[in-house]
Structure 1
Amino acid sequence: MFYHLFYEYLDINIFKYITFRGFYALLTAFFISLILGPYVINKLKVFQNKEGGYVRQDTPDWHQMKKHTPTMGGILILLSVLLSSLLWCRLDNLYVWLLIITFISFGIIGFLDDYKKIKDKKGLSSKAKFTMQLIVATAISFVLYTYPKFNSVLYFPFFKHLQIDLGIFYLFLMIFIIVGTSNAVNLTDGLDGLAIGPSLISVSTFAIFAYISGNAILSKYLIVPYVEGSGEIAVFLMALLGGGLGFLWFNSFPAEMFMGDAGSLSIGAVLGLTSIITKQELVLAIVGGIFVIETLSVIAQVGYYRFTGGKRLFKMAPIHHHFELHGIPEPKIVVRVWIISLLLSIIALSTLKIR
């Protein structure tokens, strides 16, 4: 809104710059989150305690002490990011609206799941949850696939000219990435600050990729795909970074609230869609390596359990609970995951020069 008001109508030049609007989108979302945080925590705490509290199943026994810590804290992220992005993003950009719609839609799916978990301790059925995710991801992917300025080419990091045009199969790849990343971030959300840390590092990394891919000069110099208009999504990602930092203010150990599915599903879906828009789908597997490891640990645990007739590969999955049961303190696990995520981000960014 500010772009259209101050630049297009009042001709204040500074509002045309993505970097300026991005930084202030971050600050706006952060302070909105910080101001609304105590109110949201109080309201969620009243509701959750009224229903007897809630803690995730398949967690170590001592997690029961967290049953009265309010979940659904993703509402705070959704509100702060939505308000900030509507203020600072260009609202005539298709990519921005696709991200906003994806963010809200997956947030609603997550909210419904969180709400039912608190009310009846079961949540949405896996089938219902997956079906809703699939419907949203398919609709978003189809709009993007049919957009004239977009292409179905898959680019490979570390290689200058290695690329494959997947044609119609790219549509299925997009759906897989959006739904898969959404659920991968959700699986990682099991300790105080565990999911939000790597999420913010990934968001920051893709904000850089978005800015470069939307800049004809920089993208040509760094030999990355130029995607006209994609630079604007950096403003949205900066808003998400600010909202996430505000949430982390309350989610750091010992957490005053958890993001729940409302936050994790929406952030994951945005990361997946961003990697598609910026044509960095494979780089997502690097920068989001923590989410990949967490997901693979669950797949390996289930597969090993069935193959061996009841034996476990890990003490508990996702793998962060395995480390907990080995006696590693929760804050230490979380900080180490952040460190690994930061190193993966550096590797991902290095692909800009190694081509």
Structure 2
Amino acid sequence: MLYNLTEALQGWLDDRGLSWLVMVMYQLEFRALFAFLLSFALVLVIGPRVIRWLALRKIGDTPEFGNDSLNQLMQSRAGTPTMGGIIICGALLVSTALLADVIHNRFIHLGVVVVLCFAVVGGFDDWLKLTQSQRAPGVRDGLFAWEKLLFQVGFGLLVGFFLYRASGSFDAHVLNLPFQRTYLPTPSIETLMQPPSIAPGVWVLGIGSFTLIAMLAIAGTSNAVNMTDGMDGLATGTLIIASLAMMVLLWISGSPRAASFLMVPSVPGTGELMVMAGAMAGACSGFLWFNCSPARVFMGDTGSLALGGLLGYFAVACRQEILLLLIGGIFFLELGSIVAQTSYFKWSRRRYGQGRRIFRCAPIHHHFHLGGWKEQQVVVRFWLITVVLTMIALVSLKLR
């Protein structure tokens, strides 16, 4: 609202010679960095109060795993407040409302819808787990997997449909493949000022294929982040790195000159999402203050589903779904380990009469934990892998 208020008062400020006081609000990079700092500060201020409120109402997590050794290792987590994702989502939305163009920019509108819808589904799932465990000790069932997936797929399809309609330009509907040029090379600096020419061989998606890819990216990333949130600081730290990378990709996508220079899709309006990505990175950074080992609070499905869905939405909006696979490599490794473990167990039970496992326990971070790595080692090493994968993803932008 501050940005929109600045626009509304621009004439009045010009008449009084005060416009220089607010000119910085027109700089996207400033607003994105300010959103980071504001959401970081908001989480640090409201975090302790919300954590105390959650603890007083016994909104705590008592995870149960199908592995006795892992249950012993994770005993210290019992009773830790969950649903901390409301802190992250709250700070993210407040910072976005204050510093982004929330009145005119459709990409911001859809981003807010993604956060709210996925947070509601995640919050309902967390609440069911809590209330059922209180009514029947030892029972910790939230939404059924198919119910949660149905919501995610449905929301993903709706967001993909409206995102296609919001992205009116030809460039916004291309399939951005690795190392493929979206535009023809610009022979000189002067030609950067002219509209770029689309390179031959570029695939342009129709509304059906675009919506399907959007659904897979949004629902898939939402699930992947949810599966990663099993150790103190693991999902939070990885999300910080991923959202900072998305800030770069969104800035490039929203800048026609930068997109033309790097020969990647230019999607007018997506630059404003850089503010939202900055708010997400800042909110996660503030949350990590309380979520690092030993954690005082967990984000729960409330946070992991919403933030994962938003990360996938960012990638679809700037046409970087393939790079999302690299930047979010740890997330998809975690999700893949569960799919592989479950599929192999079912297949081996039919084939040999007894289920067999690929990993000691899935998701894969528990495999390493049971293998002798300390929890902090798993977390920091996964962060480092994410940093390396993110650097590879960003460097690949120039390899066209």
TM over 0.5: yes
What corresponds to 2:396 in structure 1?
Answer: 351
The within-5 A match list for 1:253-292 is: 253-292=293-332
1:28 aligned to 2:38?
A: yes
How many Å apart are 1:271 and its aligned residue? Answer: 0.9
What corresponds to 1:76 in structure 2?
Answer: 87
What corresponds to 2:135 in structure 1?
Answer: none
The within-5 A match list for 1:8-23 is: 8-10=8-10, 11=19, 12-23=22-33
Partners of 2:226 and 2:61 in 1: CA distance: 20
Partners of 2:44 and 2:101 in 1: CA distance: 25
Query: Contact 1:54 / 1:117 at 8 angstroms: preserved in 2?
Result: no
How many Å apart are 1:175 and its aligned residue? Answer: 0.9
Matched to 2:243, the amino acid is V
Partners of 1:53 and 1:171 in 2: CA distance: 36
The 4+ residue runs of structure 1 with deviation greater than 4 A are: none
What corresponds to 1:164 in structure 2?
Answer: 203
Q: 1:289 to 1:148 in 2, by over 3 A?
A: closer
Query: Contact 2:55 / 2:81 at 8 angstroms: preserved in 1?
Result: yes
The within-5 A match list for 1:95-244 is: 95-120=107-132, 121-147=140-166, 149-150=168-169, 151-161=172-182, 163-167=202-206, 168-244=208-284
Partners of 1:38 and 1:158 in 2: CA distance: 46
Q: 1:346 to 1:149 in 2, by over 3 A?
A: same
Partners of 1:209 and 1:338 in 2: CA distance: 20
Matched to 1:47, the amino acid is R
Partners of 1:56 and 1:154 in 2: CA distance: 42
What corresponds to 1:54 in structure 2?
Answer: 62
Matched to 2:2, the amino acid is F
Calculate the TM-score normalised by the size of structure 1: 0.96
Partners of 1:191 and 1:107 in 2: CA distance: 20
Query: Contact 1:7 / 1:15 at 8 angstroms: preserved in 2?
Result: no
Larger radius of gyration between Structure 1 and Structure 2? 2
What corresponds to 1:5 in structure 2?
Answer: 5
Q: 1:353 to 1:89 in 2, by over 3 A?
A: same
How many Å apart are 1:137 and its aligned residue? Answer: 1.5
Partners of 2:279 and 2:212 in 1: CA distance: 29
Structure 1: runs of 5+ lacking an equivalent: none
Query: Contact 1:48 / 1:54 at 8 angstroms: preserved in 2?
Result: no
Q: 1:218 to 1:337 in 2, by over 3 A?
A: same
The within-5 A match list for 1:84-99 is: 84-91=95-102, 92-99=104-111
Partners of 1:128 and 1:291 in 2: CA distance: 21
Query: Contact 2:101 / 2:272 at 8 angstroms: preserved in 1?
Result: yes
Calculate the TM-score normalised by the size of structure 2: 0.85
Partners of 1:242 and 1:220 in 2: CA distance: 29
Residue by residue over 1:264-311, the C-alpha shift from the partner in whole angstroms, topping out at 9 and shown as x without a partner, is: 101110111111110101110011111111111111111111122101
Partners of 1:245 and 1:237 in 2: CA distance: 12
SS at match of 2:57: helix
SS at match of 2:357: coil
Residue by residue over 1:71-124, the C-alpha shift from the partner in whole angstroms, topping out at 9 and shown as x without a partner, is: 111011011111111000011100011111101110111011011111112111
1:334 aligned to 2:346?
A: no
How many Å apart are 1:148 and its aligned residue? Answer: 5.2
* Further displaced range: 231-240 or 134-143: 134-143
Matched to 1:81, the amino acid is L
Partners of 1:146 and 1:32 in 2: CA distance: 34
Partners of 2:167 and 2:155 in 1: CA distance: 21
Aligned CA-pair RMSD: 1.5
Residue by residue over 1:299-332, the C-alpha shift from the partner in whole angstroms, topping out at 9 and shown as x without a partner, is: 1111111122101111100000001111110001
Q: 1:69 to 1:341 in 2, by over 3 A?
A: same
What corresponds to 2:77 in structure 1?
Answer: 66
Matched to 2:47, the amino acid is G
Partners of 1:193 and 1:177 in 2: CA distance: 23
Structure 2: runs of 5+ lacking an equivalent: 11-18, 133-139, 183-200, 350-354
Q: 1:148 to 1:308 in 2, by over 3 A?
A: closer
What corresponds to 1:317 in structure 2?
Answer: 362
Matched to 1:171, the amino acid is T
What corresponds to 1:250 in structure 2?
Answer: 290
Matched residue count: 353
